[in-house]
Each structure stands twice: as C-alpha cells, then as structure tokens.
Structure 1
Amino acid sequence: MAVVTKKKTQVDYAVGDHIVYPAHGVGKIVAVESQTISGIALELFVITFDKDKMTLRVPFAKAKTVGMRKLSDPDTMKAALTVLKGRARVKRTMWSRRAQEYEAKINSGDPVSIAEVVRDLHRNAGQPEQSYSERQIYEAALDRLAREVAAVEQIDETAAVERLEQVLRAA
C-alpha cells in the first residue's frame, strides 16, 4: 500500500483537500493509495469524515461519477444563504413523498438544494411543532449545510450552525 502526499492527481484533488461527497458531506482527503483488488490495480482517495468517524476509499475513476467535488466557492454559499432567506415552499403532497424529495436533495450534495430543505422545514417560535421524521430530516440538512459553510468560511461547525439559524430567524 503506497501512500502519496501532496501530489495532484488527474482529477485535481490532493492530500489535505476538503471535498464534498454527496451522500456523506464534507470530508478530507488524507492519503492516496494504490491497491490491487481482484487482480485490478486501483488508485484510491482515502477520505475521512471526522464527525461520522468514517473512512471512505474512492477510486480515481469513480470520483466524478459519484459526484465528489471540491468545496463550494463563496458565491455558491452566498446563493445558498439567500435561499434560506426566502419563503418556505411546502408542496401539498403526502409527507412520505416530500420526505423522499428532501432526502434526495440532501444526498445530492448541492448546497442550494440542501438550503431549500432547511428553509422548508425550519420552524420559528410560535409555529407548530415538527413531527419526529420532519425534525430528523431538518437536522440532517442543517448539519450537512453547516459542515460545508464551516469548511468554506474556515469557522467551526457550531458557529456555522448559529450563522445559519441567524439567517433563518431574520427571514
């Protein structure tokens, strides 16, 4: 198992880069490994997700197809925060259908789509309580968005959550 450090790969990621993996959120590339699996030599990114205490190995060839990407630029994050300021748009469909749509948006990895979920499920004081499943989806979306905001703005996750909640309260 060879580990290469600070070498740019053909897909423009290097050891030490923060990336977004759609199904898991923000992670950090900690190594690049060569492994032989079933007789096939593969180059792999080793990505850690500290909050989830998880390590993921992604073949170079699959990085783009699984949706792995660099952190959003500040303009994209600004667009996501603008979405939070908008009015909630809750469709009049059954909850199970909306829940599937929300999960798909969260797992897309797109910060603007995740911001839509946070906006739509946010409850201000004085509004009716959320169901357990609504709360779970809201917290998952808020957590995913906060992790990327924290990584982009180089602040801790607690400060990022507070910033997002402040934007939501001001809306």
Structure 2
Amino acid sequence: MEVDDLFQVGDSIVYPMHGAGIIKAIEEKEVSGKKQQYYVIKMLISNMQIMIPAGKILSSSVRPVTDILALKHIAHIFQHGESDRLLPWKQRYKVNTDKIKTGKMQEGAEVVRDLMRMKKEKVLNTSEKKMLDNAHEFLISELRLMKGITENQIKSFC
C-alpha cells in the first residue's frame, strides 16, 4: 500500500484534540500480522510521538496547518465575533467540545474567545477552565508552525 501525496515528511499538520505537529517519518510497520504504512508525527504540545495508519489519515481529520492568509479572518473572529453567553454551561460545553473536535482553527479560536470573555466576567468551572487551557494550547501550537507569522501576531491570541 502506497502513501498518498497528501502529506510528506516535514509537513506541519493539525490533529484534532491533540494540536499541531510535524510529520517526522512515514514508516512501514507490522501490526497483528498486517503490514501498513504509518505517519509518524511529533506533537508540539505534549512532546509526544504518535503514529497514524496512512489509510486512516483522512478519517482522522488531520489537516495542514492553516495558511497565514487565513489568519486575518481568524483574528477578526477572535477579536470581534459574537459569543453565545445564554447557553447553560452543559450545553455550552458540548458545543465547544464539538467545535474543538472539528480541528478547524476558526472553531478553536471561537472556543478560546468565548471562554476568555466569560472568564473576565465570572469564574469558569473546572471543566471549562481545562477546556480553555487545552483549546488555547491547540491554537498556539498551530500558530507557532505557521510560516510567516510574527510573535506579536501570536500574542494577539493570548
């Protein structure tokens, strides 16, 4: 089985619920008597290395790091978008979890924006504090891998 040209060694990617990483290798491994090619990815946040079977890379929602051109739109949403503060916390938690699971930078930025705004108004519960910390780490890890981004642009998301 040959790996698609979708991702190459050295590509920066985002793995939903794990953050950004770099493809370090594409290796063939035998697991349960079956040989498969795997993407070996070094994750920025946890300093962890993960392996994803090449045949499951698309269904895992792994995507390339967002382009610097999209950052202006995402920064606008982050700073000026509307938050839905009227949802009960359990419903809000589910909506935010679903957004993070998409792995899309825009959705993650919305979660960070909304929870940061709420944190300024009141104390977040433990679950939402953890969610904010994780979503923020995912966002910053992707920003750090963007080509052409400045440290000041990264700080605007803090």
Q: When the two structures are superposed, what TM-score results if normalisation uses the length of structure 2?
A: 0.85
Which one-letter code corresponds to 1:162 in the other structure?
Answer: K
Sequence identity percentage: 27
Q: Is the contact made by 1:48 and 1:54 (CA closer than 8 Å) also made in structure 2?
A: yes
Q: Is the contact made by 1:88 and 1:119 (CA closer than 8 Å) also made in structure 2?
A: no
Alignment gaps of 5+ in structure 2: none
Residues 60-101 of structure 1: per-residue CA shift (max 9 Å, x gap): 111111111111112322221111122442252321121121
- Aligned-partner Cα distance in 2 for 1:27–1:134: 24
Structure 2 residue aligned with 1:81? 75
Q: When the two structures are superposed, what TM-score results if normalisation uses the length of structure 1?
A: 0.79
Superposition RMSD in Å:
2.5
Which one-letter code corresponds to 1:73 in the other structure?
Answer: D
**SS of corresponding position for 1:123:** helix
2:65 is the counterpart of 1:71? yes
1:11-160 residue pairs with structure 2 within 5 A? 11-123=5-117, 127-153=121-147
Structure 1 residue aligned with 2:157? 164
**SS of corresponding position for 2:20:** strand
Number of aligned residue pairs: give it. Answer: 157
- Aligned-partner Cα distance in 2 for 1:56–1:101: 27
Alignment gaps of 5+ in structure 1: 1-7, 166-171
**SS of corresponding position for 1:122:** helix
Superposition deviation, residue 142 in structure 1:
1.5
**SS of corresponding position for 2:121:** coil
Q: Is the contact made by 1:121 and 1:134 (CA closer than 8 Å) also made in structure 2?
A: yes
**SS of corresponding position for 2:66:** coil
Q: Is the contact made by 1:33 and 1:45 (CA closer than 8 Å) also made in structure 2?
A: yes
- Aligned-partner Cα distance in 2 for 1:125–1:138: 9
Q: Is the contact made by 2:140 and 2:154 (CA closer than 8 Å) also made in structure 1?
A: yes
Which one-letter code corresponds to 2:156 in the other structure?
Answer: R
Distance of aligned partners of 1:124 and 1:44 in 2 relative to their CA distance in 1, 3 Å threshold? closer
- Aligned-partner Cα distance in 1 for 2:120–2:28: 55
- Aligned-partner Cα distance in 2 for 1:34–1:73: 30
- Aligned-partner Cα distance in 2 for 1:79–1:45: 31
> Which stretch of the first structure deviates more once superposed, 83-92 or 147-156?
147-156
Q: Is the contact made by 1:76 and 1:111 (CA closer than 8 Å) also made in structure 2?
A: no
**SS of corresponding position for 1:82:** helix
Which one-letter code corresponds to 1:149 in the other structure?
Answer: L
Superposition deviation, residue 163 in structure 1:
2.4
